[in-house]
Amino acid sequence: MKKVLASIGIGNASVDTVLPSETVRPGDTVDADVQITGGDAEQEVGTVRFEIETRYRTEEGYETADIDRFTLAEGLTIEPGQEETRSVSFDVPYGTPVTTGEVEVWIETELDIEMAVDPEDTDYLDVRPTPRLQAVFDAMDDLGFSLHGAACEADPYGRYASGRRFVQEFEFRATAGRFRDELDEVELVALPGADELDLFVEVDRRGGLLSEMAETDERKTRTSIESADRKTVRADLERVVERHA
């Protein structure tokens, strides 16, 4: 009877991932403990899965994406009341989006138990920008742009990067400074890496209705950010925006 009840989630085994901190940055290495506790009956765990996930926007709605996933253990037998802790070390992928606005990133740990409700644990992360991306944010602020919105958008045709289902887009509005009367907004798609930050830039100039309908008010370009120095990045971005304003 206990096994029957466990199969529908009553008296089932449980899992809990303990992180040293919920605050991370892409490129960080994080050490965590996965604590597994047996339920009221012996259960065979096929695999212990560990996934980093987010949601992105498509034309049909929102979809969940695995940023990274791996198997922590296989063929594990959990006795009633048994407590077991597995240590895990993982790298936060550079493609992990920054959790600003409505963007969420979480870790999901799941026990794959055949013929039973799979126990799982969800831990939300506070993902901060890489140093280069933070320098971009600071530089845009210096140039008179304020962050208006951030979202993860589908990239089904690999427009920005092959092999990725989505990208994160940041929308900045010109609210002060020299570009306030020239530009409506600047949109950035950032692809951080270990050695540089690829930045896709779309500059939307102020224009009339016809130019907006024809999208002739939009200029697109691409640049690479290698420095994390605020002044250096500001000078680089100012040249890029000025060239396409």
Tally of CB atoms within 10 A around 164: 15
Q: What's the whole-number mean pLDDT along residues 20-35?
A: 94
**How far is residue 42's CA from residue 34's CA, in Å, rounded to a whole number?**
19
H helices within 143-229, ranges in order? 209-214
Cβ neighbors of 221 (< 8 A, separation 6 or more) are 200, 201, 203, 240, 243, 244
User: What is this structure's pTM?
Assistant: 0.86
CB 192 within 8 A of CB 133: yes
Domains of the chain are: 2-127 (2.60.40.640), 131-244 (no CATH)
**Closest C-alpha among 100, 24, 97, 113 to residue 65:** 97
Q: Inform me whether the pLDDT recorded for 211 exceeds 80.
A: no
Least confident range from 37-41, 149-153, 170-174: namely 37-41
Tally of CB atoms within 10 A around 126: 13
Q: Would you put residue 181 in left (φ > 0), alpha (ψ -120 to 50) or beta?
A: alpha
